[in-house]
């Protein structure tokens, strides 16, 4: 994992993408703006600038969509319908056959992180939140989580989101999260 970045900024970016992959609600715009303003304070490398610029693009597309359209698209993409899987799974284990789901769950449950109880432990949101917490506090462990759980599965997840969505916001979100993985991979 490339380390030519500011850990606080990458932590905020991971948290931003975790929030962006949750059900949209009105106050989320303010949370996004706050995270972006915090990220701006920590730009000190080319990678930091690249990550922050992409987050701004995602934020702008979010603000350009109607809330009811965002909510409808989230539901269409990620919510299972009776007797059917969702169009796009939010479980990382569905995108990497080599991923050790038991190890991931053990790590998450042993951490001090408050998991979102409405999400499965290996949901993209929970793992991004976990990675976000580790980047600053335990960089070696963050690198392990990145290599074992994010590096291979996030690009496949992003491809499914990008190809499955009809809204520009979700296309930009997939591109932005994919770029985060690319720049971290160096």
Q: What is the pLDDT along the chain (186 residues), one digit of tens a residue?
A: 767 899 999 999 999 999 999 999 999 999 999 999 999 999 999 999 999 999 999 999 999 999 999 999 999 999 988 888 899 999 988 888 777 777 877 777 777 766 665 677 788 999 999 999 999 999 999 999 999 999 989 999 999 999 999 999 999 999 999 999 999 987
| End-to-end Cα, the chain, rounded Å | 7
CA 82, chain centre distance (Å) = 26
CATH number of 7-91+98-185: 1.10.3480.10
- Contacts for 67 with CB less than 8 Å, ≥ 6 apart: 24, 25, 26
- 36-59 tens-digit pLDDT: 999 999 999 999 999 999 999 999
Q: What pLDDT shows up at residue 16? A: 98
DSSP 3-state of 123? strand
Nearest 5 degrees, angle CA 72-CA 77-CA 79? 85
Q: What pLDDT shows up at residue 82? A: 83
Read off the pTM.
0.92
Query: Alpha-carbon Rg of the chain, whole angstroms?
Result: 15
Distances (CA, A) of 129 to 24, 106, 153, 165: 17, 15, 16, 23
Q: What pLDDT shows up at residue 117? A: 59
Please say whether the beta carbons of 161 and 111 come within 8 A. Answer: no
The tally of CA atoms less than 13 A away on the side-chain side of residue 23 is: 8
- For the record, the structure tokens of 21 come out as 């992959």
Chain-wide mean pLDDT for the chain? 91
Domains of the chain: which residue ranges? 7-91+98-185
């Amino acid at each position: 994992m490339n380390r030519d970045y500011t850990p606080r900024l990458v932590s905020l970016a991971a948290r931003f993408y975790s929030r962006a992959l949750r059900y949209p609600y009105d106050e989320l715009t303010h949370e996004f703006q706050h995270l972006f303003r915090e990220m701006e304070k920590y730009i000190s490398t080319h990678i930091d600038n690249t990550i922050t610029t992409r987050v701004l693009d995602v934020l702008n597309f979010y603000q350009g969509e109607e809330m009811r359209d965002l909510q409808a698209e989230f539901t269409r993409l990620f919510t299972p319908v009776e007797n059917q899987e969702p169009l796009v799974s939010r479980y990382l284990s569905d995108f990497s056959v080599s991923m050790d789901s038991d190890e991931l769950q053990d790590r998450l449950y042993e951490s001090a992180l408050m998991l979102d109880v409405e999400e499965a432990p290996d949901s993209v949101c929970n793992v991004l939140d976990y990675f976000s917490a580790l980047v600053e506090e335990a960089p070696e462990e963050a690198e392990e989580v990145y290599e074992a759980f994010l590096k291979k599965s996030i690009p496949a997840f992003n491809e499914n989101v990008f190809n499955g969505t009809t809204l520009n916001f979700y296309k930009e979100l997939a591109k932005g999260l994919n770029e985060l993985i690319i720049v971290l991979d160096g």
